[in-house]
Amino acid sequence: MIIDAHRHYWDPSRLDYGWLEHAPATLQRAFLPSDLEAATDACLLVQAAPDERETLFLFDIARHTDGVLGVVGWVDMEADDATQRIAALVEQGQGLLRGIRPMVQDIPDTEWLARPSLDRAFDCLRDHGLVFDALVDNRHLRALSQRLARHSGLVTVVDHGAKPNIADGQFASWAGAIARVAQVPDVACKLSGLLTQADLNNGMAAIEPYVAHLFESFGGQRVLWGSDWPVLTTHATYEQWKACAQKLTRRFARRHETAVFGGNATTIYSLAGRVPAAASGATS
C-alpha cells in the first residue's frame, strides 16, 4: 500500500487560510476529496490553517473519505491550557490524530521553536505518542535542533526537506544544517514539497542533488514520500510527482522503495493495523 504522507484538503469558505492571499490564484479555492478521486493511495491529511477548528474539519473528512489513515492537526502550542487542548483533540479524533504541526514558517520570530514556554506542549505531544511535524526552512533549523535536544523520544518529521531554496541554488548552508538535524535518531524527513521550491521549467532536474542529500543524511528508513497536494499542482500533477519521486528513490535509495512509499509512514505515525475510518463505517 502506497501512503501519501502529506496531503491537504481545505475550504476557504469555512475557515481563514491567511497564507492563501499570497499564493497563486489557482490555489485560492476549495480543494476537497472530490478533486482527487483518481488518486487511490492511502493518505495522511495535514493541517493548512492555524485553527483548531480545521483539525475537527479534517477529522470529519477522514471519517467520510476512503483511504484516510489519520490527521496531522494544529493546536495553539502557546496557550496556557495547551496540554488540555492537545488531550481534547486526541479524544475528539478517536484515533485519527497522529501528529501536530505548528506553522513555524509563518511565525515572524525565527527562534520561536526554542522558546522554553513551549516545553510543556512538546512534552505533551511525546507523552500522547503524537508526531511533531516541523514546517520549517533553513532559518529555523538551529532553533529546531535546540528544541529536539530538550525532548528525547519526541518523534519529529521535517516537512518538505526543510524547504531549501532550490530556485536560487542555495545548497551548501541548507545541506549542512539539515545533515546536523538528521543526526538526531528520532527525526525523519518528508520527500515532499521540493518541486515547488524549484524553477517551474527545470524542477525535476534541479531537485536531484537535494533529494540525494536527504537520502544520504537520513537514510532510506527515515524518508517518507508525500504529495503536498494541492500545493503541488502549481508545478506538476499528483501522478507526475509520484513517478518522479519513485525514480529518484530507486536511484538514491535502492531497495528502500517500499519503506519510502508507505512503510516508514506506517512506523513513524503508528499506522500499523489502522483501517481507514470511512472503510470501517465510522460516522462523525
User: What are the average pLDDT values for consecutive 10-residue runs of the chain, which has 284 residues?
Assistant: 97 95 96 94 98 98 96 97 98 98 96 97 98 97 95 96 94 96 96 94 89 98 98 96 97 96 97 65 37
The whole-number pLDDT of residue 275 equals 60
DSSP 18: G
The whole-number pLDDT of residue 277 equals 56
The whole-number pLDDT of residue 282 equals 41
The whole-number pLDDT of residue 204 equals 85
Helices (H), the chain: 52-63, 82-93, 119-127, 141-149, 172-182, 203-206, 208-218, 238-252, 257-258, 264-268
The whole-number pLDDT of residue 191 equals 98
The whole-number pLDDT of residue 271 equals 94
DSSP 279: T
Read off the pLDDT of residues 190-210 as tens digits, 9 standing for 90 and up. Answer: 999 999 999 988 878 899 999
Give the separation between CA 224 and CA 234, rounded to whole angstroms. Answer: 22
Give the separation between CA 175 and CA 172, rounded to whole angstroms. Answer: 5
Can you name the CATH fold of 3-268?
Answer: TIM Barrel (3.20.20)
Query: Strands 42-46, 68-73: parallel, antiparallel or unpaired by DSSP?
Result: parallel
The whole-number pLDDT of residue 222 equals 98
